[in-house]
Amino acid sequence: MANSKYEYVKKFEADDRLPPSNWIVVRIDGCHFHRFSAEHAFEKPNDENALNLMNVCAVSMLEQFPEIVFAYGVSDEYSFIWRENTQFYQRRASKLLSLCVSYFTSMYVMKWKEFFSYKELKGPPYFDGRVVCYPRAKMIRDYLAWRQVDCHINNQYNTCFWMLVKSGKTQKEAQEYLKGTQAKDKNELLFQQFNINYDKLPQMFRKGSCIYREKVEEIVKEDGNANGVTRTRNKVVLGHMDIIGPNFWIQHPYILQED
Ligand code: GTP
Ligand code: MG
């Protein structure tokens, strides 16, 4: 019996390797982040410092692990896209997952003070995660579009919800008020009642954050060459662009290039 259990564990370990020629998505998500945000008095619905801290941790992941080609983050979640044929950790799902969770969490704790110098970190955040494989780059683009659509829907709802609460409604009343409203109705509500043009709110709140590499040219001074020489290198960059439509991917075809 003990032996068969051991066999089972061994089999599980072997099965843990993800199939070759598949893009790997590791998505991490804060556990009970609602509570963590309340404990640390994050601004509602979006705390700029908290989001910037998440972004800095994710930028550091791309700087540290060249095999991650793209990351997309919103609220308490981040998705990391690993290169199609990465051999990192022999493509073991559990290892990739725990690497992302532990590296991200330790960066979060280390960088906390840079973003919240006036607030004590009461305890580390906890992240859980999942790993999903996609055999085609098109599926990764669809996956990322899905996350950005989700960001848009949630952010628009939360913006309305908290404006209604700040204007004196109870949370239950605000919830009732928004039941069944469409995107257009919500934009209209913000404009008419609160004089807010939703489309003018910060891009980071409405579109989430994208991290990837871009070739940059640098002029490097060298001995014996007064003008310096031009060198190109890959720099990790962060932006809040639209990744639902095709434009970004047409402009950056190399990010999800299939081998
Ligand atoms: P589980 O993920 O199921 O463990 O629960 P969760 O509480 O983390 O909820 P979920 O991941 O669905 O949603 C993230 C939650 O984090 C939101 O509902 C917010 O309460 C909170 N959150 C994320 N970003 C911010 C922020 O910038 N400000 C504030 N106030 N809260 C935030
Ligand atoms: Mg969460």
- Whether residue 186 contacts residue 157, with contact meaning beta carbons closer than 8 Å, is answered with yes
**Residue 83: CB atoms within 10 Å:** 18
Distance 29 CA to ligand 2 centre (A): 5
Contacts of 211 (CB under 8 A, 6+ apart): 55, 58, 59, 62, 70, 71, 72, 73, 236, 237, 238
- Whether residue 157 contacts residue 81, with contact meaning beta carbons closer than 8 Å, is answered with no
Average pLDDT (224-233) is 84
- Return the residue matching tokens 């930028």: 59
Token representation of residue 80: 């990391």
Distance 6 CA to ligand 1 centre (A): 39
Distance CA 37, CA 42 (A): 5
Q: Which range, of 19-23, 45-49, 225-229, 241-245, averages the lowest pLDDT?
A: 225-229
Ligand 1 atom having least distance to the Cα of 38:
30
| 171-189 pLDDT per residue, tens | 999 999 999 999 999 999 9
Distance 45 CA to ligand 1 centre (A): 9
Comparing 105 with 16, the larger pLDDT belongs to 105
Q: Which residues line ligand 1 (CB under 6 A)?
A: 29-34, 37, 42-47, 50-51, 75-76
pTM (2 d.p.): 0.92
Ligand 1 atom having least distance to the Cα of 35:
7
Q: What is the DSSP string of 172-200?
A: HHHHHHHTT--HHHHHHHHHHHH---GGG
Q: What is the distance, to the nearest Å, from the Cα of residue 3 to the centroid of all Cα atoms in its chain? A: 42
Residue 4: pLDDT band (50, 70, 90) is: low
Residue 131: pLDDT band (50, 70, 90) is: very high
Average pLDDT (14-36) is 94
- Return the residue matching tokens 């007064």: 226
Distance CA 19, CA 84 (A): 10
Examine the pLDDT at 232 and tell me if it is beyond 70.
yes
Select from 31, 75, 154 the residue to mutate for testing ligand 1; criterion: most ligand atoms less than 8 Å from CB: 75
Q: What is the distance, to the nearest Å, from the Cα of residue 116 to the centroid of all Cα atoms in its chain? A: 20
